[in-house]
Amino acid sequence: MLSELLMIVVGGLKMGAIYSLTAIGIVVIHKATRTVNFAHGAFVLCGAYVTYGIVEVLQFGWWAAFVLASLAGGLLAAVVELGILRPIRQADSFAVITATIFIGIGISDIYRLLQNTEILAVRSMIRGAPLFIGDAMITREQIAVVGGAMAVALIGVALFAYAKFGRGMRAMASNPRGAVLCGYSSDAMNALAWFVGGAMAGVAGSFAAPSTGVTAELSVAMVTAGFAAAVIGGFDSLRGALLGGLILGVCETLAAGYVSSAMKNAVSFLLIFIILLWRPQGLFPEAKIRHV
């Protein structure tokens, strides 16, 4: 059934776009600071929670929610970097990775204490009649999420590639000593990278909130999906993270539609495993320009 397939794919693209945003945040942080942020899902949760507060509790508009969710995610990430990770960075990656794992759990716990275990529902971004392509029904929400998330993702990638502070982060990612000699402060660049990564996570949370609701489980689910998308794309490639998220989303809905819903949960794990073993550099690795 072609229309059924189309609906499944669109559904997959919707979650995929959210995964892409999350993955881009993880990759930005990793490129700039060489840290894999296992707490990233908690930043997504933060953004989703703020969105709930803006849209449901305060009854403000969605644009306010996007802005405030990204700010919240960014600030939370910057605080984690400056307050906790900077002092332990001299130690090997072991300490930093472990710290991010427990910070992630800790933040989810704070949320659970604030809200208990109920799932908070957030209304859709856009109301209105769905569109039809043949027999396939596509909701406006789906279009809005895919379009919006992709737009934010592309803005993020463009900022990193072309903007002035993007240059500093890329210099730091390419050669930290060279970057320091160009006057870029590694503390400032690290904090900036975490802020940008956290902001992307926050916005991802905004987009995710209507679909998944706000719940502590979001934290683990999103870091897993984000990590899987980043691995699929090739961990240091922003473009790869974007495409990886979309691929992951579509694979999940295909698995749910044609195999079983239990399979859907397993998809991200299986993809991580397969890619790491078969093509560890990812499907879209950045072309490495080697020193002559």
CB nearer to another protein: give 149 or 238.
238
Other CB atoms within a 10 A radius of the CB of residue 290 amount to 5
Burial class (CB in 10 A: 0-12, 13-18, 19+), 271: buried
CB nearer to another protein: give 158 or 182.
182
Per-residue binding string, another protein, 142-181, x by CB under 8 A, is: -------------------------xx-xx--xx-xxxxx
156, 201, 272, 282: which one binds another protein (CB under 8 A): 272
Per-residue binding string, another protein, 231-250, x by CB under 8 A, is: x-------------------
Taking the CA of residue 228 as centre, how many other CA atoms within 13 Å lie in the half-sphere pointing to its CB? 27
**Using rule CB under 8 A, residue 103 touches another protein:** yes
Tokens of 46: 């933060």
Q: Cα dihedral sign for 43, 47, 49, 50?
A: positive
Contact region with another protein (CB under 8 A), list: 60-68, 93-101, 142-150, 240-248: 93-101
State how far the Cα of 72 lies from the Cα of 98, in Å rounded to an integer. 23
Q: What share of the chain is helix, strand, coil (3-state, %, to 5)?
A: 75, 5, 20
102, 131, 147, 151: which one binds another protein (CB under 8 A): 102
CB 144 to another protein: min, Å: 31
Per-residue binding string, another protein, 28-57, x by CB under 8 A, is: --------x-x-------------------
